[in-house]
Structure 1
Amino acid sequence: MNENYRLADMFLNVSEEERETWKIDNDNTADWALDKIKESREEYERFEKVAMAKIEQIKSVLDQERKKSDNETSFFESKLREYVETLKMKETKTQKTYALPSGKIVIKKDKSDFKINKDSVLENIKALEGYEDYIKVKEDLAWGDLKKNLVIDNGNIINKITGEVLEVEGLEVEVKAGKFEIKF
């Protein structure tokens, strides 16, 4: 085992060219490499836990400051609202404004808008006469059904039912590369 650790010291302190020529040529060296990977991952996990704890600590302090700011802002906004309600403000169709040197106080008026559940409205409007022009019919590909009848063979898409090679723009074969994994 000591020989393997000497190999590690040599490996980590050598040039890029020497790294490329270094090879794992037996089970002991392969097992040692797995240990090095495991140690590296464990060190990262330890570091990550410390960093996440620090992040949580900072988030907690930030959250306390946000609450403090929200309380202070809420207090002063309520006092400003009480004050401007006693004043004559510039008024438009959608808002009231009052200008001061440090900023402008804006009170937006209530606004009515539609709240819609499209599925419910669609079902109910179908029953009304004269509203047919407001209903759209949408085409969609039944991909799940089509896919069940397709197979990939030598990079070609074949229709299992007809046996024909299906060549359709927008449909092609994608090869997803295999993956090397190490599991502990």
Structure 2
Amino acid sequence: MDENFRLSDLFLNVEEEEKETWKIDNDNKADWALDKIKESSEEYERFERVAVNKINQIKVALDQEKKKMENEKSFFESKLREYIETVKMKETKTQKTYSLPAGKIIIKKDKSDFKIDKEKVLESIKVLEGYEDYIKVKEDLAWGDLKKNLIIDNENIINKITGEVIEVEGLDIEMKPGKFEIKF
């Protein structure tokens, strides 16, 4: 234990230039490095918990302010609705407007629009005569099926079934580097 204490003192007091040349060359140093990684991770997690708690407090305060704003807005909008019923508004086919220096009050008129469930409409329209032009047929690559029949050999993509080298625009080989992992 005393050796580990001296070892950590030595590592913690390493000058900046020496850090670049410092190496892990034995199990004690490797174990010490794992402890340092673990401590650093634990410190970050502690900091993250505090930050998340603070963020949640701010969100609660923001939600309260939003509710206050929405209540105030709703109150004044209802009073404006009452008021505009007493004045002459400019009217077009789709809306009524009333202009004031601070802004414009707009009442959009009711209108009919389509509500659609595309899957149900598609199934229904398939059986109707003369509506074929309104049905799209979408082509898509069956990548999962194709991939099962391909292998990578050096720099080539080969069809396992036919043995031929496949050269298709848009299909290339990507080298994904291995990963260094530490688990506790």
TM-score (norm 2): 0.93
Q: Which amino acid aligns with 2:5?
A: N
Moved more, 141-150 or 64-73: 141-150
Aligned to 1:136: 136
Aligned to 1:18: 18
Aligned to 1:122: 122
Q: Matches of 2:139 and 2:65 in 1, distance apart? A: 52
Q: Which amino acid aligns with 2:95?
A: Q
Q: 1:71-92 CA deviation, whole Å, 9 max, x = no partner?
A: 0110110111111122210011
Aligned to 1:160: 160
Q: Matches of 1:64 and 1:8 in 2, distance apart? A: 50
* Unmatched tracts of structure 1, length 5 or more: none
Q: How does 1:43-58 map to 2 (within 5 A)?
A: 43-58=43-58
Provide runs of 4+ in structure 1 moved above 2 Å: none
How far apart are 1:7 and its partner, in Å? 2.4
Q: Matches of 2:34 and 2:169 in 1, distance apart? A: 46
Aligned to 1:88: 88
After superposition, the CA RMSD in angstroms is: 1.3
Secondary structure of the corresponding residue to residue 105 of structure 2? strand
1:5 maps to 2:8: yes
Q: Matches of 2:52 and 2:132 in 1, distance apart? A: 57
Q: Which amino acid aligns with 1:102?
A: A
Moved more, 104-113 or 75-84: 104-113
Q: Matches of 1:59 and 1:5 in 2, distance apart? A: 42
Percent identity of paired positions between Structure 1 and Structure 2:
77
Aligned to 1:40: 40
Q: Matches of 2:153 and 2:18 in 1, distance apart? A: 43
